[in-house]
Amino acid sequence: MKNEPFIPYPKTKRYSGFNITITEKIDGTNAQIHIDEDWIVTTSSRNRIITPNKDNYGFATWVRENLDDVKKLGKGRHYGEWWGEGIQKNRYGVTGKHFSLFNTFRPTESLPECIKQVPVLYTGPYLDSDIMYQFNTLKEQGSKLGGSDPEGIIIYFHEARNVMKMTYDYTGGKWGKK
């Protein structure tokens, strides 16, 4: 028998309810800015590293053009949505392209001027009724970004550090039933 180190089972957290944050799901393309320990900036889409020569709707080019401001995000991985004119349907009718961070816990005053956060609709205890209320209200009132055609919502579960989405179209997934 091999002499393996003992690894105990992790302590089970006591259930005390779940907190959630509901944000508007933006119709664009997933994007990432990575600033490493040496302040070298890398850009990515959901599936690959991108460069101005092999770009994703101009995101890598935009980051390069705004590099001094982008570096104000600080070291780390910064995930968000690249959206607007020429990206997907531009259901918001905006001019230009925009980058909105998924991290809504970061103070807005710490963001560079060229970067925003996804719109927050609700933060509080997890209740199905609150999720459905936000989902229905967003559809009735229209997108917080402009236009009247929101894509859906994202529900972030604080304790689980996980997200789920609800969309108005393709409720069974992009390749499922509409």
HEC secondary structure over the chain: CCCCCCCCCCCCCCCCCCEEEEEEECCCEEEEEEECCCCCEEEECCCCEEECCECCCCHHHHHHHCHHHHHHHCCEEEEEEEEECCCCCCCCCCCCEEEEECCCCCCHHHCCCCEEECCEEEEEECCHHHHHHHHHHHHHHCCCCCCCCCCEEEEEECCCCEEEEEECCCCCCCCCCC
pLDDT given at position 14? 79
- Write down the pLDDT at residue 173: 66
Tokens representing 48 are 């690959």
Cα distance between residue 108 and residue 100, in whole Å: 11
Q: What number of other Cβ atoms are within 10 A of residue 94's Cβ?
A: 14
Query: Domains plus CATH for the chain?
Result: 19-167 (3.30.470.30)
What letters, b where the CB count within 10 A reaches 16 and e where it falls short, cover 112-135?
A: eeebbbbbebbeeeeeeebbeebb
Q: What is the pLDDT of residue 59?
A: 97
Task: Using alpha carbons, list the distances in angstroms from residue 41 to 64, 79, 159, 170.
Answer: 9, 13, 30, 35
Q: Give the Cα separation of 9 and 91 in Å (integer).
A: 48
Residue 3, pLDDT score: 81
Residues of the chain below pLDDT 50: none
